[in-house]
Chain A
Amino acid sequence: GQSLEQPSEVTAVEGAIVQINCTYQTSGFYGLSWYQQHDGGAPTFLSYNGLDGLEETGRFSSFLSRSDSYGYLLLQELQMKDSASYFCAAGSARQLTFGSGTQLTVLP
């Protein structure tokens, strides 16, 4: 089975940096993915870590440590449009298990 833990809510101000942590317990772990979902919308893919270390995509970065069963999503230069739910997901693409999501609120 798989289980992922992430904080339920995070609040930050525009222009700040925020980190959303994710710890996981999985069998057959393949990699850690991150998704963004705006209210009423579909989840959209942000990043994937198949190997330990940092992956950077514009303002977003994601990190994985397999030895610690831990990863995080780092959002820099926060914008109002970044207010959304963020989900970590683990496993293989065949069986991706999602965390319960972190609601990020960006304040002006």
Chain B
Amino acid sequence: NAGVTQTPKFQVLKTGQSMTLQCAQDMNHNSMYWYRQDPGMGLRLIYYSASEGTTDKGEVPNGYNVSRLNKREFSLRLESAAPSQTSVYFCASSDFPRRHTGELFFGEGSRLTVL
């Protein structure tokens, strides 16, 4: 099983450019998440989706938009990239609310640099 797959793995943007990070999971999970991780810091939640068609803001949503295209896919869009958005982005999924185990399954990360 692939688990959680993110693309692209690496991306360099210029300030003001836009891009979309793609994420797909094959575990039939209801809940999906986008986190960012900056050097020496923990993961901060950008957006999450509890089910297809629903999305909610996390701790740091400004400058981002998301789409829960279907149960498998959850994309993150930067409309006008800024240097402060240079980070590693992780997509994750969980079986909440069907099972509540505190476990998130993470993708391998997308390393974004904004110049």
A contact set with B: CB distance below 8 Å: 4, 30-33, 35, 41-45, 48-50, 87, 89, 92-101
Q: Size class of B's contact patch?
A: 20 to 34
Tell me if B41 counts as interface (CB < 8 A to partner A): yes
- 26 A-B pairs within 8 Å (CB atoms) are namely A30-B100, A31-B100, A33-B102, A41-B108, A43-B104, A45-B105, A48-B101, A48-B103, A50-B102, A89-B102, A92-B100, A93-B97, A93-B100, A93-B102, A93-B103, A94-B48, A94-B96, A94-B97, A95-B45, A95-B58, A96-B33, A96-B102, A96-B104, A97-B59, A98-B44, A101-B42
- Also in contact, A87 and B58, with CB within 8 A (given A42-B107, A43-B106, A93-B31): no
B100: A residues at CB distance < 8 A:
30-31, 50, 92-93
A42 touches B102 (CB 8 A): no
Q: What residues on A are CB-neighbors of B109 within 8 Å?
A: 41-42
Please provide the chain B residues from 22 to 78 with a CB less than 8 Å away from any CB of chain A in the complex.
31, 33, 35, 40-45, 48, 50, 58-59
Q: Are A48 and B102 interface neighbours, CB within 8 A? A: yes
Assess whether A42 is in contact with B90, with CB atoms less than 8 Å apart: yes
B16 shortest CB reach to chain A, Å? 29
Asked whether, in the complex, the Cβ of A31 is within 8 Å of the Cβ of B102, the reply is yes
With a CB–CB cut-off of 8 A, which chain A residues contact B35? 98
Chain B residues with CB under 8 A of A4:
42
**What chain A residues lie within 8 Å of B106 (beta carbons)?**
42-44
When chains A and B are docked, how far (Å) is the Cα of A30 from the Cα of B97? 12
Q: Are A87 and B96 in contact (CB under 8 A)?
A: no
Cα distance, A49 to B44, chains bound together (Å): 21
Let me know if B102 and A100 touch, CB within 8 A. Answer: no
Say yes or no: B43 contacts A87, CB within 8 Å.
yes
Among A30, A87, A89, A94, chain B packs the most CB atoms within 10 A around the CB of A94
